[in-house]
Amino acid sequence: MASFELGEQFDVVICVFDTLNHLPAFDDWRSLFGRVHEHLAEGGLFIFDVNTVGGLRRHGDGPPLVYDFDGNTMIMNVEMPGDGMWVWDVRVFERLDGDRFALRHERISELGVHLGQIVDALSPHFELIEQTDTAGCEPDDESDRAYFVFRKQ
């Protein structure tokens, strides 16, 4: 994701569902920003969202999320092992038949990055057009999620 080369340009690049957070180091984010810049036409838009540091922390401070669906159960816990990384520990107990279940387990890492750091990294080559959080307010590090629209300069 941080090193793609498609050989063409686009009017819009969209990167949603906190995809950026899955890059394990901020240098990877910077590399992705460079790739986006190269692939955008002049004046093109880069639209993305991120889980914020505060939102990730609140997930980690809260109890595990438990969700029952179609006879199956998912238990999700968020942990912070360090260095700004958060790990979503997801366990799904899949009902096979009767009282038999299969455990599906996945650990998904996300990097929490301060929003100012993101804006600063983009500002040399992009203009911030719009930013908001889930409440429709200007986002900060304590927002649950932040949404951005940048224009290529």
Both tokens assigned to 24:
């394990």
38 shares its domain with 65: no
Q: Look at residue 82 and tell me whether its pLDDT is greater than 90.
A: no
119 shares its domain with 106: no
**pLDDT bracket for residue 94 (50, 70, 90):** very high
90 shares its domain with 103: yes
Residues 6+ apart with CB under 8 A from 98: none
For the chain, how far is it from start to end, CA to CA, in angstroms?
22
Distance CA 59, CA 129 (A): 29
136-149 pLDDT tens trace: 999 999 999 999 99
**pLDDT bracket for residue 79 (50, 70, 90):** very high
- Averaged pLDDT, 2-19: 96
Kindly list the distances between the CA atom of residue 141 and the CA atoms of 37, 52, 136, in Å, as whole numbers in the listed order: 25, 6, 15
Residue 39 domain-assigned (yes or no) = yes
Both tokens assigned to 50:
């991120």
Q: Look at residue 55 and tell me whether its pLDDT is greater than 90.
A: yes
The count of domains in the chain is 2
Both tokens assigned to 21:
């957070």
Q: Where in the sequence is the domain holding 16, given as residue range(s)? A: 10-52+112-152
64 shares its domain with 104: yes
pTM, to two decimals? 0.91
Bridge partners (DSSP) of residue 6 are none
Residue 55 has phi, psi (to 5 degrees) of -65, -45
